[in-house]
Amino acid sequence: MDGLMARDARDSPGGSAGAPARRGARDLLILLAGIAVAVAAAAPVVHKWLGNQPDQRLVDLEVYREGGLAVLRGAPLYDFLTQPPQLLPFTYPPIAAALAVPFTLLPWRAAQWAWTGLIYVSLVVVVCYAFRDLIRRTGRWAPLTVGVLVAATAWLDPVRDQVRFGQVGLFLLAICLADCCARTARWPRGMLVGLALAIKLVPGVFLIYFLVTGRRDALGNAVLTAVVATLGGFVLLPSDSSAYWFGALLEGGDRTGAVDGTTNQAIQGIVARVLDEGPARTLVWLALALVVAWFGFGWARRATLAAGAASGADASSLLLAGVAIVGLLSVVLSPVGWIHHLVWMIAVIGALVGDGRDTRRCLVALGLWLLFLFPVPWWARGLIGPDHSPVTVFAGQVLRDSFGIAALASIVVLGTWLVKRLDPDNHPRDPSQRQVGMGTLGA
């Protein structure tokens, strides 16, 4: 009788057999809602920049694509300039041009849409790593949480600039976060960083990170991957590789643009907007860069080692903080750190938010998010000029450097305040809390 009643309950419309179907439909609706929120947020950005004047659309993608065309034609890679009015040269390692060849097979308009789609796919990956514990806390609502976070980060000024210019910054950010923050890796740890380094030199700071944190296997894998990819470039494009490594690379700022431009928020850009070109400016920049590098890598090491002693969401936040510090160092220590390179602020905000339980951390993260929503450095240029008072001009100069200053401040906040707040050595551990190993970056 009991078995018959149980069978009748399963077969009845209101029985347990209908529950999985209802849960499945509800989960599908949550997923669709998350997608809708993300698409609705990204649509105005995409419409603006892909609907812009033809010569103002994804100009950096045009550089990559023209590099791919040069590879196919056998033309010198570092001699061409893109069409007026941009007249931009190719400034990346030859292997980057080889990887851009598939986009030469698409019509220009289709290539723009495909590239933009990949940018937002990368943003989703970045959000999933940066806000992993917050997303997990929301349970079955996780797809909607991801959608809301993608929507919130899609409007950050550096992210909008990724779409505007058709840049690779979010690709590299996603690669580095996956390599450094994945709990278990299906690839040799460090390999993805090596690939990123082969495409663009700035992720090379992660080699120092692997070294100072004792991740020797990851360091070896990264170096090996970068060397193999670079040698592959010499095999495919021997003359272009020689021209880059022994020529174009040494030209530096002559090919990348003026270092004192507003969009350069690196230390050198900030110094260049204060001091005239000359030995004094170079010495000041190098001195400041050395100080920031010394403390920055030390704080990144401290955060990473603290992550090994912590557990759960605190361990994730500390590890992410260490990686985010290194990512910011790749921007501020570079001779040119454009605003669109500061997509690393997503990782900073994610490390601060953690699982969302700490109000103070969330408020600091909210402040950074609000700052980077608006093109403050560009607005500040209107405060600088002979028509304004010295006080207004000074305020304008400071605001013009606000993104770079915020990046430097974030390094300090993550490396000192956040680590002190989460480091288990500073707080008595609850013996009832189950230990959770990180399983990341194992040497």
Q: Which residues contact residue 349 at a Cβ distance below 8 angstroms, ignoring those fewer than 6 apart?
A: 130, 153, 365, 368, 369
Burial of 111 from C-beta contacts in 10 A (0-12 / 13-18 / 19+): buried
Q: What is the DSSP string of 318-329?
A: HHHHHHHHHHHH
Within a 10 A sphere around the Cβ of 354, how many other Cβ atoms? 27
What pLDDT score was predicted for residue 248?
67
Fill in the DSSP letter of residue 57: S
Structure confidence at residue 252 as a pLDDT band (50, 70, 90): low
List residues bridging with 338 in a β-sheet. Answer: 264
User: Which has more pLDDT, 442 or 82?
Assistant: 82
Greatest Cα pair distance, the chain, in angstroms, is: 94
What pLDDT score was predicted for residue 85?
84
Q: What is the pLDDT of residues 20-79, one digit of tens each?
A: 777 788 989 999 999 999 999 999 999 999 988 877 889 999 999 999 999 999 899 988
Within a 10 A sphere around the Cβ of 252, how many other Cβ atoms? 12
Q: What is the pLDDT of residues 359-404, one digit of tens each?
A: 999 999 999 999 999 999 999 988 888 888 888 988 999 999 999 9
Three-state SS at 330: helix
Amino acid in position 190: G
| Residue 85 preceded by cis peptide, ω within 30 | yes
For residue 349 the two structure tokens come to: 């905000």
For residue 76 the two structure tokens come to: 């010198």
Contact 134, 353 (CB under 8 A): yes
Query: ∠180-185-190 over CA atoms, to 5°?
Result: 45
Q: Quick one: which of 272, 270, 250, 274 has its CA closest to 201? A: 250
Within a 10 A sphere around the Cβ of 149, how many other Cβ atoms? 26
Contact 265, 377 (CB under 8 A): yes
Q: Which residues contact residue 52 at a Cβ distance below 8 angstroms, ignoring those fewer than 6 apart?
A: none
Three-state SS at 167: coil
What pLDDT score was predicted for residue 2?
46
User: Which has more pLDDT, 187 or 386?
Assistant: 187
Q: What is the pLDDT of residues 284-335, one digit of tens each?
A: 999 999 999 999 999 999 999 999 888 889 999 999 999 999 999 999 999 9
Work out the mean pLDDT of the chain and round it to a whole number: 89
Q: Is pLDDT at 414 greater than 90 in this prediction?
A: yes
Q: What is the pLDDT of residues 218-234, one digit of tens each?
A: 999 999 999 999 999 89
H or E segment to which residue 42 belongs: helix 18-50
CA 372 and chain centroid, separation: 14
Within a 10 A sphere around the Cβ of 374, how many other Cβ atoms? 13
Within a 10 A sphere around the Cβ of 21, how many other Cβ atoms? 9
Length of the chain: 443
Three-state SS at 264: strand
The C-alpha atoms of residue 194 and residue 217 are separated, in whole angstroms, by 12
Three-state SS at 338: strand
pTM: 0.89
Q: Which residues contact residue 184 at a Cβ distance below 8 angstroms, ignoring those fewer than 6 apart?
A: 439
Q: Quick one: which of 369, 371, 370, 353 has its CA closest to 361? A: 353
The C-alpha atoms of residue 211 and residue 201 are separated, in whole angstroms, by 17
Q: Is pLDDT at 135 greater than 90 in this prediction?
A: yes
Q: Is pLDDT at 136 greater than 90 in this prediction?
A: yes
What pLDDT score was predicted for residue 436?
40
